[in-house]
A and B are shown apart, each in its own frame.
Chain A
Amino acid sequence: MTDVAIVDYGMGNLRSVEQALRHVAPDLEIVVTDNARVIEHASRVVFPGQGAMPDCMRELDARGLRGAVMQAAKAKPFLGICIGLQMLFEHSAEGDVAGLGVLKGEVVRFAPNMLDARGGKLKVPHMGWNQVRRVSRFASPRGDGAIAPSPSGGGLGWGNAPEHPLWAGIEDNARFYYVHSYYVKPQDAALIQATSDYPDPFVCAVAQENLFAVQFHPEKSQAAGLKLLQNFVHWNP
């Protein structure tokens, strides 16, 4: 049985993701595949993506992989990367196209003519290394994963919820490599794992049960990225 299946729907280059996973898990069987049966039988699934979302959705369907990806996203350790995060949502402004709808919410573009705090021009795509700030989430008595003010800010005293295992060994505010022009807006704030600023905070990581998905590229984010991938291959939600 395949340990890790990297979903290949013909868009972009999956070599980097494959190389980085092999580097952190030399003993696992890692395959790049466009075969729905291989995805269905894999222990865990990585769903990467590059390029434009309408092309990605079309190519995913052309290969008959929609069902296998949706099933994996609900059933086993699943890591979405970049467009692989965006495709999980209901709708994208890029080409006005429907996504898989595994998660509620939409994908929107960065605004034009954005400026940084010093009046410098912020380019789109957002390209390079940005800090990933984890959402401090405190266990709510309602069990809904609501975001509470931090204790130092006069918090509600729910007690610290354990941090998501995929962040283990990675410093808060560590820098990861990004290249994208669109970002996700989840309907449910409880999904949000982390944000980055450009210049306003945008969601760069979400999690739900067996699923974790990020806007940045862990496979190109040196030590911090390799650590996240290593955490993923050992994650047992």
Chain B
Amino acid sequence: MLAKRIIPCLDVTHGRVVKGVSFVELRDAGDPVEIARRYDEQGADELTFLDITASSDDRGIIFRIIEQVASQVFIPLTVGGGVREVGDVRNLLNAGADKVSINTQAVLNPQLVADAASRYGSQCIVVAIDAKQVAADRWEVFTHGGRRATGLDAVEWAKKMQSLGAGEILLTSMDRDGQKSGFDLLLTRRVTDALEIPVIASGGVGNLQHLADGVTQGGADAVLAASIFHFGEYTVQQAKQFMASQGIEVRL
């Protein structure tokens, strides 16, 4: 049986892993290569790196980090942040990424998703959606690290990305990110029910029950978390054992 995936997320800036609350107030969490190796040993199913500065000056740093991780860690690696053109996708794949996550630029230029998927295959194109609740049962897509509203409905946008060739959706609730109050389960459920492709739930994990709820109530195919792992509250292995105890299929 296919296992539900646990994906630690490493937000990287200036060569360090950091974690913020609702996209601000960054706190240092360590060296990305060392952290990646530790999560691999703990049984992480994939790793996601988000280059959260993504200014052109810093671009080289993330490539070097990915190269180092990819030569030591043999599980899927996703990299996102600052992907603007097909050439960026190519460069990240060449550095050792298995999947590339596209967020802001998918909104500015949806054709990028189609072009990248047709050139490199849907399996390596993840579309990241940052969504904020704006009404009962309605969530809006935000870009630029959560700073800019788009007017787009998150569920409709996810369906459009699927139709353009996205292989997976990384869905982050901006309301929950860093709050440790659990995923936005209704948002997760709405998006996963609307799609044929896998959905990764993100934003808000504060304990292991939250991870399990993302799967059992949200219907997510994978769950992503950062701070509960970075600051040593839980290991990935503990998370998996907890999920298994709740009857969720995991890779132990």
Contacts and interface: CB of A to CB of B under 8 A. Distances in A.
Interface stretch (A73-81, A119-127, A137-145, A149-157): A119-127
B98 A123 contact: no
A50 B195 contact: no
Contact of B76 (A12, A123, A198, A220): A220
Given A123-B197, A125-B123, A15 B3 contact: no
Nearest to A196: B2
Contact of A15 (B5, B96, B118, B123): B96
Nearest to B195: A123
A228 to B, nearest CB: 11
A155 B240 CA distance: 38
A129 B198 contact: no
A225 interface: yes
A18 B196 CA distance: 32
Given A220-B74, A220-B76, A124 B196 contact: yes
A129 B74 contact: no
Interface residues of B, number: 37
Of the candidates A51, A121, A123, A129, the one having the most CB atoms from chain B within 10 angstroms of its own CB is: A129
Nearest to B199: A123
A13 B3 contact: no
A120 B122 CA distance: 23
B200 to A, nearest CB: 10
A221 B74 CA distance: 6
Interface string A98-127: 000000000000001000100011111111
A15 B197 contact: no
A66 interface: no
A121 B1 CA distance: 13
B167 A128 contact: no
Interface residues of A, number: 38
Contacts of B124: 12-13, 50
B126 to A, nearest CB: 10
A124 B70 contact: no
Interface string A150-175: 00000000000000000000000001
Interface in B89-134: 93-98, 118, 120-124
A126 B2 contact: yes
B interface secondary structure, majority: loop
A222 B96 contact: no
B51 interface: no
A122 B196 CA distance: 8
B120 A121 contact: no
A198 B249 CA distance: 13
Interface string A21-56: 001000000000000000000000000001110000
Contact of B221 (A127, A222, A225): A127
A125 B251 contact: no
A187 interface: no
Interface of A: 11-13, 15-16, 19-20, 23, 50-52, 112, 116, 120-131, 175, 177-180, 197-198, 219-222, 225-226
Q: Sorted from nearest, which 4 A-B pairs have the closest CB atoms? A: A51-B121, A13-B93, A179-B123, A129-B251
Given A19-B71, A19-B74, A180-B123, 12 more contacts: A13-B93, A13-B98, A13-B124, A15-B93, A20-B74, A50-B123, A116-B1, A123-B196, A127-B168, A128-B4, A130-B2, A219-B74
